[in-house]
Amino acid sequence: MSLKINFNGTIEEDSRISVFDHGFLFGDSVYEVVATHENQPIFLDAHLNRLANSAQGISLTIPHDKNWFVQQIDRTLEAAGNRESYIRVVVTRGVGDIDIDPSSCLRPNVVIYVAPHKDYAQDNYTKGIHVALVSIKRNPKEALNPGIKTGNYLNNVLAIMEANKLGAKDALMLSPSGFLTECTTSNIFLVQGERILTPSLDCGILPGITRNKVIQLASEHGLPVEEGQWPPETLEKIDEIFITGTLKKVMPVTSLDGRSVGNGKPGSVTKKIMRLYDEYVQNIHQA
Ligand code: PLP
């Protein structure tokens, strides 16, 4: 089990990036986090498509095609030899002048991290977690579109710091127009009786790959998800909450702002979605 870094195609134990890289200086980069099943990447095509969209969203030309990424990820996974891996793919604007203008950056840097994967503690799934609705707002779409997964995550860093101070594991943010958006690295779903609600993409959220799969699986099993603009008052009439993300998968939220959600235990709809998602991933390489 080991950590390997693939730096522009060269696999190393550890790597150094220039202090003149605009990814470091200005958060001028895009990235993806990919999970594995049986140490093979899952949803890789969707992640590489989103990486390409994010790059396009910040006018960054990635110097490699999808095949190159697939091959380099495979090589790096093999070199690391983990049971399960955490994969992080980062493309930075590259080295340039100490100047906000990126035109001096001639070549993006591509870094692929492969580390041993650590599962979240089982407690998170059996008991659920505490989330706080924080005062920090999600970036407005018109400023830095949350639909683009950039290396500029300061908005979310500030939000999770506020949540931590409130004793919560994650932060739920509102959009500048006052609608529910997402947590710092996950999308959110609310269960109200038979209804499952989730903020729509136009609220200014990341189009989560897990979110997308959950919407698909839920609707295939007779649980259609309603995407919309939900004001925070919606939270007052909610029976269950769960969040979704590549690493967290489907995680129940049983406490919101220190108050129990429903009966304070993962609810039946949440448990059903957790099971459907787990089953899907268990069989993913047979599909
Ligand atoms: N929202 C944000 C802000 C994220 O950073 C992430 C993942 O990192 C997600 C949602 C969940 O997306 P995915 O399911 O593709 O991991």
Ligand 1 contacts CB of residue 199 (under 6 A) = no
Residue nearest to atom 3 of ligand 1 (CA): 185
Q: What is the pLDDT of residue 76?
A: 98
How far does residue 239's CA lie from ligand 1's centre (Å)? 23
Q: What is the pLDDT of residue 107?
A: 97
Q: Are residues 250 and 196 in the same domain?
A: yes
Ligand 1 contacts CB of residue 152 (under 6 A) = no
- Per DSSP, the three-state class of 162 is helix
Mean pLDDT for the chain overall: 97
Angle at 187 between CA 182 and CA 190, to 5 degrees: 90
Tell me which of 1 and 150 has the higher pLDDT.
Answer: 150
Residue nearest to atom 5 of ligand 1 (CA): 185
Q: Are residues 133 and 197 in the same domain?
A: yes
Q: Are residues 226 and 156 in the same domain?
A: yes
Q: What is the pLDDT of residue 1?
A: 79
Atom from ligand 1 closest to the CA of residue 47: 15
- CATH value at residue 225: 3.20.10.10
- Per DSSP, the three-state class of 155 is helix
Q: Are residues 196 and 95 in the same domain?
A: no
Rounded mean pLDDT, 43-50: 98
Q: Are residues 74 and 188 in the same domain?
A: no
Atom from ligand 1 closest to the CA of residue 211: 14
In this model, does residue 45 exceed pLDDT 70?
yes
Among residues 82, 116, 150, which one ends one of the domains? Answer: 116
Q: What is the pLDDT of residue 194?
A: 84
Q: What is the pLDDT of residue 236?
A: 95
In this model, does residue 143 exceed pLDDT 70?
yes
Q: What is the pLDDT of residue 155?
A: 96
Mutate to test the pocket of ligand 1, among 170, 246, 277 (most ligand atoms within 8 A of CB): 246
Q: 0.95 cut: is pTM over it?
A: yes
Which contacts qualify for 172-176: CB closer than 8 Å, 24 or more apart? 172/131, 172/132, 172/133, 172/134, 172/256, 173/133, 173/134, 173/136, 173/137, 173/138, 174/133, 174/137, 174/138, 174/232, 175/137, 175/138, 175/140, 175/203, 175/204, 176/137, 176/138, 176/140
Q: What is the pLDDT of residue 287?
A: 64
In this model, does residue 180 exceed pLDDT 80?
yes
Rounded mean pLDDT, 26-48: 98
Q: Are residues 108 and 143 in the same domain?
A: no
Q: Tell me what percent of the residues of the chain surpass a pLDDT of 70.
A: 100
Rounded mean pLDDT, 18-27: 98
Among residues 116, 135, 160, which one ends one of the domains? Answer: 116
Range of the domain at 182: 123-284
Q: Are residues 57 and 178 in the same domain?
A: no
Among residues 91, 116, 141, which one ends one of the domains? Answer: 116
Ligand 1 contacts CB of residue 33 (under 6 A) = yes
Separation of alpha carbons 257 and 172, rounded Å: 10
Q: Are residues 163 and 62 in the same domain?
A: no
Q: Are residues 34 and 103 in the same domain?
A: yes
- CATH value at residue 34: 3.30.470.10
In this model, does residue 109 exceed pLDDT 90?
yes
Q: Are residues 175 and 204 in the same domain?
A: yes
Rounded mean pLDDT, 28-43: 98
Rounded mean pLDDT, 162-177: 98
Ligand 1 contacts CB of residue 245 (under 6 A) = yes
Residue nearest to atom 2 of ligand 1 (CA): 185
Rounded mean pLDDT, 196-222: 98
Q: What is the pLDDT of residues 239-287, one digit of tens each?
A: 999 999 999 999 999 999 999 999 999 999 999 999 999 999 999 988 6
In this model, does residue 227 exceed pLDDT 80?
yes
Q: Are residues 207 and 161 in the same domain?
A: yes
Q: What is the pLDDT of residue 286?
A: 81
Would you place residue 51 in the very low, low, confident or very high pLDDT band (cuts 50, 70, 90)?
A: very high
SS (H, E, C) 191-250: EECCEEEEECHHHCCCCCHHHHHHHHHHHHCCCCEEEECCCHHHHHHCCEEEEEECCCEE
Mutate to test the pocket of ligand 1, among 153, 158, 170, 186 (most ligand atoms within 8 A of CB): 186
Q: Are residues 92 and 168 in the same domain?
A: no
Rounded mean pLDDT, 125-129: 98
**Number of domains observed in the structure of the chain:** 2
Q: Tell me what percent of the residues of the chain surpass a pLDDT of 90.
A: 98
Rounded mean pLDDT, 82-98: 98
